Structure 1
Amino acid sequence: MRMTRRSLSLAIAAVSVGAGGLVVAGQPSLAQPLGETAVAAPAAADPALAAARADKQRAAATAPDGPQTAQEKKFGQVDDYATKAGGLGVYLDSTTGKYVVRMPRNAMASKAARSVRIAGAETVVQPSRTTQAELTAIRSTLESRQWTAGAKKYSYGFHYDAQGDVMSVTTNAPAAVMKPLLAKYPSLVQAKYGDVGRASRRSDPAPHRGGASITNGTGVCTSGFTITSTARYMVTAGHCFTINQRVYSTGGGQLWGTVRNRPRFPYYDFEAVGGGSYGSVIYVGNATGRTILVSGASDPAVGAAYCRSGQTTFERCSQVVTSLHAQFCDESGCTVELIAYRGPASSGGDSGAPLYQYVNGTVQIRGMHIAHADDTMYAERWTTIRSVFKANIAIR
């Protein structure tokens, strides 16, 4: 069973867009692999995956704005413009400090100007060498994991890199497995090779905190943060434990609670642990950790830096968000509309760790870590968790 990470005999992280259903996970249907010498047409879309993508996109678009930094507000305005104009993606130019919108090569001239003014500031617009249709075709091929025989044996992480204007794929597959895909899309797919996986805090007393080490007696994960709905719950990664399973503090063995809600995994990779006492603080710092109050929650901004606090690697900051439309797939299926970010690496046991921003001596939640693909990591967005559980962040 997947515990410290979502194990990946086959994993994909991708550009996507998707929530719903508090039920135990099911397995998506997968067709058989095709020949090795050519890229096969993608299999028919998984309707549950399509529904998850649409629901998560709707949740992000309709969620009320939580507390945001000035950069997050700016990104939100640029991202809204890009979405309405049909842009492929947004990135932050570190040299100029300006956001850049990538428009498809077939964009109308009126939408392909070199710059636009958004919220009183100039935003650069750059043409892409590709189109949304081409990116969707690449994404669908990777999601199906059937472009060549043996592709399902390996792990893949990918998202559209707006700055490089390529679909960036990280995999542990041999070069021969990637060869047909690279041959079909020589200028649009960039392959990298590395590790891919789902990814004293150890004796946490009640009321329990986020960032603590938790276990079912065999595998270990990290608690995320407390939410309030019909009661108070602690969230963690959905691949960590099964519905109705008891969860304990790793070090002291205290009963933490029971998994009460587990949205349909793998389409959603988070779950709610209930039945215990849960505080509105998380652990930050080193192995022993200190606690800090949670004061709010919102989605992050591309180009902004955040911190992650896991039971294995502890607090690691300078985590820079590269996409809000990433996808991760393994032998169980796909998790969509994720945060992709880069920074100090995560490790096994960090799954469930909170991703957050320091604000005025408190922290504000932005997401929850679930996986990595070499130097890129993935997290569920706050708005997805909020929407599925119909919950608020606990701040007192």
Structure 2
Amino acid sequence: MKILKRSALSTVTALFASITAVNGLPVTAHAAPSEESVSESEAAREMFSAMRRDLNVGEEQLRRRLAFEAIAPAMEKDLRAQLGESFGGSWLNEEGTQLIVAVTDEASAARVRRAGAEPRLVKYSKAQLDRAMADLDRNAASAPSSVHSWYVDVATNSVVVQAESGTSLMASRAQAFASLSSGAKDGMVRVEASTQAPRPAYDLRGGEVYLIGDGANGSYGVCSVGFSVQGGFVTAGHCGSAGAPTKSGNGTAQGTFRASTFPTNDWAWVATNSSWTPRPWVYNYSNANVLVSGSTEAGIGASICRSGQTTQWRCGTLQATNVTVNYSNGPVYGLARTNACANPGDSGGSVLSGNQAQGVTSGIAGGCESASPQTFYQPVNPILRAYGLTLITSGGGSGATKGLVSRMNGKCIDVPNGNFADGVQVRMWGCNGSNAQLFTWSGERLTIGGKCLDVSGASTANGTRIQLANCNGNRAQDFVLSAAGDLVSYLANKCVDIEGFNANDDAKLSIYTCTGTSNQKWDFK
């Protein structure tokens, strides 16, 4: 069997000792997926299947959720900037199809309605909640072991302290800790019962990937790869200390922990050797790779999937951000919490929302056997900033130049005759690798020949043509490539569409209500 030396998969083993792995890819229970053998659409189908299972939703409802989740972060960013001190936080509704924004006054609520979101009047601003949270963080050393975590819960407009409440002494200690926040006297801080103490989700098990250490006494640490970066991958800090060697599942030398922090933060990165090529992939344990397109942070309520070597591919929703977890080793700040379950051995593994990298698995409270699991993850963007790392993405990262290919007919979006003039309408044409087909993707803008891809006249109507225009910062030039392959106009919340399913050269493009059909599906290549 061909050995594929790739460290890009976010998780790197399978089912205990009955399955071995080669360079991060299972080779006994599953055939190793290659870049050529597994299409993005196949990976998307497997991802949808897992999300339907874990979120308990139908396919159409899931497609609506993913389409809205693709534009929600930009909506939230705009409203946060507009509302200033009156902003109270935001989250998605249970269906994931509406952004709810908390505000402290009616004038701000009217602004939220005009933006197409649902306002919720609250007593405290997000800034006030964050200050109350910061008070608890400053007093983290005073937290008793019965206090498990604390975080801002924007949906209830409060700061929540999770703690055991089995005895009156435990309850009084939790209340005493909560009282250290300046918000306690105003009723801003509340104590919530917690039955499971968080713990780092790693395990010590001989012979499984990825392995940490030198194998002394026949044992290795076992964790899961997070996300590929230039030169290696990121993972959880508690998995290994700086200088620790790593190996793949079959014992092949893989790399070395270049840097690691735990507690306070739970992040690390491993520099891999020259035999490994980082790829923008996360393995979904159904013989397919999910492509990673960027690292836009999801909002509370958004769908979350995570991959790890013990429990494989599990999905849920984002429940809280900026959570402080009081591990037995010491507090870790700035984590996020999801109900996408995990178990020991999953630590360090990748956490995604759609095709956007979110973080690496840190710890669990309850695990997959629990009726209400909690999984904590370390957000990925702070890791990248801390170590100056560049995430490997399917577009090659910011500044990458690629063609945009239709899944319907394999043709490329093309600028007619290479005429990069303002107002020129783009079309479909056979892919030829010319400059008229090579777009630079910034994560939200598509530029070519010094111009931006643009929705004509900033219209939101079905059938509005796609053109080139001078880059001007207008939202008509912002697009999102969703996990399902939809190229969505942020302004219109509609998909770039090949008109009339025309498979011929010179077919025109416009925006149209997203339907999930092949004439609206795109890949970077």
TM-score (normalised: structure 2):
0.50
Note closer, same or farther for the CA distance 1:70–1:179 as it changes in structure 2 (3 Å cut): same
Amino acid at match of 2:245: R
Tell me how far 1:222 sits from its aligned partner: 0.8
Amino acid at match of 1:158: W
Superposed CA offset, 1:182-231 (max 9, x none): 485567313122221122xx989xxxxxxx64332432111112101xxx
Partner residue of 1:279?
Answer: 278
Tell me how far 1:253 sits from its aligned partner: 1.8
Note closer, same or farther for the CA distance 1:314–1:292 as it changes in structure 2 (3 Å cut): same
Identity, in percent, stands at: 20
Note closer, same or farther for the CA distance 1:89–1:293 as it changes in structure 2 (3 Å cut): closer
Partner residue of 2:262?
Answer: 265
Match of 1:153 among 145, 166, 171: 145
Where structure 2 has 5 or more consecutive residues not aligned to the other structure, the ranges are: 1-65, 367-372, 397-525
Partner residue of 1:338?
Answer: 335
Note closer, same or farther for the CA distance 1:282–1:370 as it changes in structure 2 (3 Å cut): same
Partner residue of 1:193?
Answer: 194
Q: Which has the higher strand share?
A: 1
Superposed CA offset, 1:158-203 (max 9, x none): 222222333333334644223254485567313122221122xx98
Secondary structure of residue in 2 paired with 1:256: strand
The answer to whether the 8 A contact 1:258-1:273 is kept is yes
Q: Within 2, Cα distance between the matches of 1:307 and 1:298?
A: 15
- Number of residue pairs matched by the alignment: 299
Partner residue of 1:223?
Answer: 225
Note closer, same or farther for the CA distance 1:173–1:256 as it changes in structure 2 (3 Å cut): farther
Q: Give 1:64-103 correspondences, 5 Å limit.
A: 70-82=68-80, 84-86=83-85, 87-94=87-94, 97-103=97-103
Superposed CA offset, 1:327-356 (max 9, x none): 33435544333322223x211111111012
Amino acid at match of 1:347: N
Amino acid at match of 2:244: Q
Q: Give 1:115-134 correspondences, 5 Å limit.
A: 116-117=112-113, 120-128=115-123, 132-133=127-128
**Which protein, 1 or 2, shows the higher relative CO under an 8 Å CA cutoff with sep ≥ 6?**
1
Report the structure number with the largest CA radius of gyration. Answer: 2
Superposed CA offset, 1:101-150 (max 9, x none): 223xxx46644x366246x4133132136885466335523652466xxx
Q: Within 1, Cα distance between the matches of 2:136 and 2:171?
A: 12
Stretch deviating more after TM superposition (275-284 or 308-317): 275-284
Superposed CA offset, 1:284-335 (max 9, x none): 126xx54444343332232211210011111112x21123332334355443
Stretch deviating more after TM superposition (300-309 or 93-102): 93-102
Partner residue of 1:163?
Answer: 155
Where structure 1 has 5 or more consecutive residues not aligned to the other structure, the ranges are: 1-67, 205-211
Partner residue of 1:18?
Answer: none
Q: Give 1:248-263 correspondences, 5 Å limit.
A: 248-249=247-248, 251-262=249-260
What is the RMSD of the two structures over their aligned residues, measured on CA atoms?
Answer: 3.3
Q: Within 2, Cα distance between the matches of 1:169 and 1:316?
A: 26
Q: Within 2, Cα distance between the matches of 1:92 and 1:143?
A: 30
Partner residue of 2:302?
Answer: 304
Q: Which has the higher helix share?
A: 2
Partner residue of 1:38?
Answer: none
Secondary structure of residue in 1 paired with 2:171: helix
The answer to whether the 8 A contact 1:165-1:188 is kept is no
Q: Within 1, Cα distance between the matches of 2:199 and 2:78?
A: 31
The answer to whether the 8 A contact 1:326-1:337 is kept is yes
Match of 1:177 among 170, 182, 207: 170
TM-score (normalised: structure 1):
0.65
Q: Within 2, Cα distance between the matches of 1:166 and 1:135?
A: 10
Tell me how far 1:274 sits from its aligned partner: 1.2
Secondary structure of residue in 2 paired with 1:253: coil
Q: Within 2, Cα distance between the matches of 1:203 and 1:73?
A: 43
Secondary structure of residue in 1 paired with 2:344: coil
